[in-house]
Structure 1
Amino acid sequence: MNRKAPVPLAARPVRFTKICRGVTDMKVLTIVSHPRRESLTFSVAERFVQGLTDAGHEVEMADLYGEEFHPLVFEKDEPDWDNPRKSYSARVQAEMERLKRNEGLAFIFPVWWYSLPAITKGYIDRTWNYGFAYGGARLPHKKVLWIPLVGETEASLKKRSFDTMISQYLNVGLAGYTGISQSEVAFFYNTLAEEMESEDEINKHYESLLQRAYELGQTYSDSVTQ
């Protein structure tokens, strides 16, 4: 449901780490969900990561589609309420290690049916698991930033309070329940450029979204408390 980005992304590795030193250094895992690398979702992710690195953060990107992450929970990764020390599958254990080595999280994804894409939800189902993220344990992160890309306008999403529903789920149902005290939702509205006719108007709209993504990266740690 995303239009193509105004400038296609160049091919690059599925996951990368870039280190910049600075007084605001944090390690931030950026989790991106979209089947097309040339999508607006990935352009937003690229600008966001640029903002993070320019602010002095160390960035690791998880491209869930590119890494072929399987969203289904099978028995090996099913929560065992009687065993908080359960050993999960090798893939999930590796993802848990990746989560542990980062201090901050960012999720960038399109909103489908007023919710997370299945692959994003499956990532959370499998990795934010019992004994690791809840059930006597808590996630170690200082902050999570959710960047949902919404096809419709802000007024349309708010008409039936879908913005409140989504924010409550992400901030309270997910972040709050797993011990992340600082959780923010930054909606990117009208990614389909509805009611925009001229190419110039559409390009300016997309550039404003990308500029906002960059600024969110630059200011990521501004409100993080030690």
Structure 2
Amino acid sequence: MLMNVLVVVSHSRKDSLTFQVTDRFVKGLAEAGHQTEIVDLHEIGFDPILRAEDEPDYTQEIQRFSPQIEKEITRLRKHDAIAFVFPLWWWHLPAMLKGYIDRVMNNTFAYGTNTLHHEQILWIALAGVTEEQMNKRNYGDSIRNLLNVGIADYCGVSNSRVEFLYSTVEAPPEHYEELLNQAYELGVNYASHSAKPLTT
């Protein structure tokens, strides 16, 4: 199944590993025949602060939002699937991406009277720690539960998964190439993953 995938990237530096991963992931998507659009949250000057005009209003059946959020909602509606690429900071989303979730995936669009129509969501999280360190205190399960259940499934997308790219800090060059190859394969195989149980 070919899809139109919105790739949302959160990192302040274009020369970061996050953007290298994004580039390789998108090449994999293209190789598989998917269409893509990349949204660099820093480049578009996205404001991550939830202000009064975009607060969820549960009294409204259809809520109107600020122009910036209406634009991002329109963008999301044009795509069949979503991928988020980001560094994992404090076992969570970066503030910029958290703000995007807070503001764009809002009441009456992503949850409430309406939910997201997307076929699937992929979260590509770059982790500075090893897989063993991630699992030591069940951080991985906690993050998966938050993103797959707390956000994606709550917004109506049951086919959601988190892929960790481990040891992204001070690794030998060959390891970085392995991470980029992993990102490429995630793109190539993007549509081949069926929904998995969302509980941890």
TM range (shorter): over 0.9
Q: Does the CA contact (< 8 Å) of 1:84 and 1:130 recur in 2? A: no
Give, in whole Å, the separation in 1 of the partners of 2:14 and 2:74: 25
Quick one: which of 173, 180, 188 aligns to 1:203? 173
Offset, 1:224: 4.9
The structure with more radius of gyration: 1
Quick one: which of 83, 104, 119 aligns to 1:142? 119
Q: 1:157 aligns to what?
A: 134
Give, in whole Å, the separation in 1 of the partners of 2:98 and 2:126: 15
Which whole-Å deviations, capped at 9, do the CAs of 1:179-216 have from their partners, x for residues lacking one? 002001100000014xx5xxxxx111000000000000
Give, in whole Å, the separation in 2 of the partners of 1:153 and 1:224: 26
Q: What number of residue pairs does the alignment pair up?
A: 195
Structure 2: runs of 5+ lacking an equivalent: 196-200
Q: 2:186 aligns to what?
A: 216
1:107 aligns with 2:84: yes
Q: 2:107 aligns to what?
A: 130
1:42 aligns with 2:19: yes
Structure 1: runs of 5+ lacking an equivalent: 1-23, 197-201
Offset, 1:73: 0.7
More helix by share: 2
Offset, 1:223: 2.7
Quick one: which of 163, 169, 188 aligns to 2:165? 188
The share of aligned pairs that are identical, in percent, is: 46
Q: What TM-score, normalized by structure 1, do the two folds share?
A: 0.84
Q: After the TM superposition, list the runs of 4 or more consecutive aligned residues in structure 1 that deviate by more than 4 angstroms.
A: none
**SS at structure 1 position matched to 2:76:** helix
**SS at structure 2 position matched to 1:42:** helix
Q: 1:168 aligns to what?
A: 145
**SS at structure 2 position matched to 1:97:** helix
1:91 aligns with 2:91: no
Q: What TM-score, normalized by structure 2, do the two folds share?
A: 0.95
Instruction: Specify the code of the residue in structure 2 equivalent to 1:139.
Output: L
Q: 1:28 aligns to what?
A: 5
